[in-house]
Amino acid sequence: MNPAETRTLLFALDAALKRGQRAAIATVVRVRGSAYRREGTRMLVLDDASQVCMLSGGCLEGEVVESALGVIESGVPEVVHYDLSEDATWGLGLGCGGSVDVRLERVEQDAVTLAWLDALRTGEAAALCVPIAGEGRLLIVGESVQGKLSDPALHAFALSAARARLNTRDPRAATVTAPGGQEVFIDVNAPAPELLIYGAGHDAQPLCAQAIMLGYRVTVVDPREAYLTPGRFPGAALLPLAPDELEGRLELAARTQVIIMNHHLDRDRVCLWHALNSPASFIGMLGPRSRYAQLLETLEQDGLHATPAQLERVHSPVGLSLGAEAPEEVAMSILSELMAWRRGAAGKPLNGHEGPIHNTYAARREVELSGTIQVSS
């Protein structure tokens, strides 16, 4: 679930609770086959049958609201199965060919719920573990752990599985299976991805704007303060740093994704070396491969030798081959590659693909997890 949807849901929940309304949160905990949304998608249902956010393209919401109203009354969490097959008698007649399980839970004021909602508000890395059949809830926020699962073995497994999932490149929610066969849903809240743009030129503006729309936390670095204005880059952090000021004043994290687009050889050279000597996991170079080779040659001449491990993080030219020309199209190409890289996708057309669409990258992402974790399908 993207940050914008989460903010919308939380804003509506806070307003409802202030009005004294009761509410339930419906969460997709398992998808089999094809479905419109994935595990971790949430919808808010209020006691007046109104809803905020969606679990599908509009086909499931009425059914979910009806079930959620019952959970609001009883206070007993429930997992409801929805068949999305084209069979109009036994399924919902939607023709998607899959099914989804949705967990419904009334919003309470207990410590675990409040801490989880607070993590969603602040964007802090957190994982909420709930057994599909069983009692208890386990919440991990940073190094702290709250709550517990009733089964000690399942508790230990969930703790390990949740931490492994939080350490992946693009943490996602999933229902996982413990060695004993018990299932636990791990809901995940990951901090917003970070994008650092070196260069505040005309083509950096659509990249910044589109990245913010996708939930990125964007920082733009450029020594030209006249270019670096909130009017040109609304919603971004702006750092007016000259190339010789980067060292010691700008620290990049491992989760930072970098795009170098100064359109200036000297600045690009310094920015490339700065990025290579940081833990930034993705370094994208705008422009032809020959220009990147020229920058590396200049660094070598200056006695600055990049290691193979450092160079493996560089994507040059950055972006997917979409035939992009206009700045807005180039921005789409760059962000498409970033999404494919984060999620382990091939970045190829889906035309002709057989089977569930999301499985094209789900298996790759699970490889990053502990080998003891089995993902339900």
311 and 170 together in one domain: no
pLDDT, average across residues 193-210: 97
Last residue of a domain, one of 191, 217, 245: 191
Q: Please indicate, yes or no, if residue 349 is contained in any of the structural domains.
A: no
Q: Are residues 97 and 226 in the same domain?
A: no
- Among 72, 107, 142, identify where a domain stops: 107
Residue 155: closest CA among 138, 139, 167, 141: 138
Same domain, 159 and 199: no
Residues 157 and 290 in one domain: no
Residue 299 lies in a domain: yes
Mean pLDDT, residues 178-204 taken together: 94
For residue 4, tell me if it sits in a domain: no
Residue at which a domain ends, from 191, 214, 240: 191
* CB-based burial label for 145 (10 Å; 0-12, 13-18, 19+): middle
Q: What pLDDT was estimated at residue 296?
A: 96
Are both 171 and 250 inside the same structural domain? no
The whole-angstrom separation of Cα 375 and Cα 365 is 11
- 267 and 178, same domain (yes or no): no
Separation CA 152–CA 185 (nearest Å): 16
| Termini Cα distance of the chain | 20
The answer, yes or no, to whether residue 94 has pLDDT greater than 60, is no
My answer on whether 239 and 321 are in the same domain is: yes
Rounded to whole angstroms, how far apart are CA atoms 324 and 372?
43
Domain range enclosing 326: 194-343
Residue range 265-280: average pLDDT?
Answer: 96
Query: Quick one: 212 and 315 in the same domain?
Result: yes
In a domain, 355, yes or no: no
pLDDT of residue 345: 86
CB-CB neighbours of 108 under 10 Å: 11
pLDDT at 361 over 80: no
Residue 9 inside a domain? The answer is no
As a whole number, the mean pLDDT across the chain is: 89
Instruction: Please give the pLDDT value at position 356.
Output: 62
Domain co-membership, 202 together with 298: yes
Core vs surface per residue 28-40: b (16+ CB within 10 A) or e: bbbbbbbbbbebb
Question: Whose CA is closest to 156, among 126, 133, 136, 173?
Answer: 136
With a cut of 50, say whether residue 377 has pLDDT above it: no
pLDDT tens figures, 23-65: 999 999 998 876 677 899 999 999 999 999 999 877 788 999 9
CATH number of 308's domain? 3.40.50.720
Residue 354 clears pLDDT 50, i.e. is over it? yes
Supply the pLDDT for residue 358: 59
Residue 32 located in a structural domain: yes
279 in any annotated domain: yes
| Residues 153-190: tens digit of each pLDDT | 999 999 999 999 998 888 889 999 999 999 999 999 98
Residues 132, 100, single domain; the answer is: no
What local confidence, expressed as pLDDT, does residue 372 receive?
37
Let me know whether 91 and 216 are in one domain.
Answer: no
In a domain, 377, yes or no: no
- The count of structural domains within the chain is 3
Based on the fold, state whether residues 148 and 268 are members of the same structural domain: no
